[in-house]
Copies of this chain bind each other. A is one copy, B any other.
Amino acid sequence: MTIPESELPVAVFDSGVGGLTVLHECLVSLPHEDFLYLGDTARFPYGVRPADQLLSFALELSDILLERGAKLVVVACNSATAAALPALRERLAGRVAVVGVVAPESRLAAAATRNGRVGLIATPATVASGAYDRALAQASAGRAELHAVAAAELAPLIQAGGEVDERTVACVERACGPLRDADVDTVILGCTHYPLVRPLLQRTLGRGVKIVTSGEAIAAEVERELAGRGLAAPADRRGRYGFLASGDPEEFRRLGIRFLQLPIARVGHVQVARPAPSEPAGAEAA
């Protein structure tokens, strides 16, 4: 018996556990779809790696996910999206559609803003890439302006775990100050870690400010893509979800549960080409 294509899983990959906030939104808003998440924890973090390396990683991960029947591939990682999305789409054309971050959030933000002033909180690398500036300019036809804040400490602080404390408050205050000064009415959280401190961000920005996350934007985009391709699973179906990690499955599970906020039953292991956990950027060239 073959499984109908519409009941195959949507695949989501990321450099680690951060993309689980994206999976979270997909699981809450698309409970009838199956999902398969792959965290490339053996090669985390991606932020320091050159673009050609990220493209080869993305192709390798997509192959693993396609072998397991993915009907759609989601790149839940800012670095991989910025470095490799157009090339990845081109290489997978005709096999599977690819959804990335940045453009979906920018479209949501462009639709949400009333005063045309949109804030962005992201890692220094993401801000420096200018990807959100371009995407928002395109999504708003030049009508919205982006006020970007590079928050170097926030993602590591969240990754480290521990409770939301005064250090987190200070970090969030520093990030939100310039956005309040710029009178933005919409803020994009340009890093998948940030939804874990969303209540603190909302309190600090004020409730009049609309927060846009990658998770919400991607869940909506996945739904639209699937519907457009006739690949949506039947609405009365109960979806399942599973996990793969290229690093230690138990470590993935331990870290991931905080990000997913839903049960993580089992995590499988997949072997990737370069398992060195902290291979420095450009090491081959050195």
Contacts and interface: CB of A to CB of B under 8 A. Distances in A.
Interface of A: 24, 27-31, 163-166, 168-169, 199-200, 202-204, 206-207, 257, 261-263, 265
Nearest to A239: B203
Given A24-B199, A199-B262, A200-B261, 11 more contacts: A27-B199, A28-B203, A30-B207, A31-B204, A163-B257, A164-B257, A164-B262, A164-B263, A166-B263, A200-B262, A200-B263
B257 A31 contact: no
A196 to B, nearest CB: 9
- Copies of this protein, total: 2
Contacts of A164: 257, 261-263
Contacts of A31: 203-204, 206-207
A203 B257 contact: no
A219 to B, nearest CB: 9
B168 A263 contact: yes
| Chain A to chain B: the 6 pairs with minimum beta-carbon distance, closest first | A31-B203, A163-B257, A29-B207, A199-B261, A28-B202, A28-B203
Chain A at the B interface: SS class: helix
20 contacts: A24-B199, A27-B199, A27-B203, A28-B199, A28-B202, A29-B207, A31-B203, A31-B204, A31-B207, A163-B257, A163-B263, A164-B257, A164-B262, A164-B263, A166-B263, A166-B265, A200-B261, A200-B262, A200-B263, A203-B262
A235 to B, nearest CB: 9
Contacts of A199: 24, 27-28, 261-262
A186 to B, nearest CB: 17
Contacts of A202: 28
Nearest to A200: B262
A242 to B, nearest CB: 14
A202 B200 CA distance: 22
A67 B134 CA distance: 56
Contacts of A29: 207
B28 A263 contact: no
Contacts of A166: 263, 265
B203 A263 contact: no
Contacts of A169: 263
A169 B200 CA distance: 28
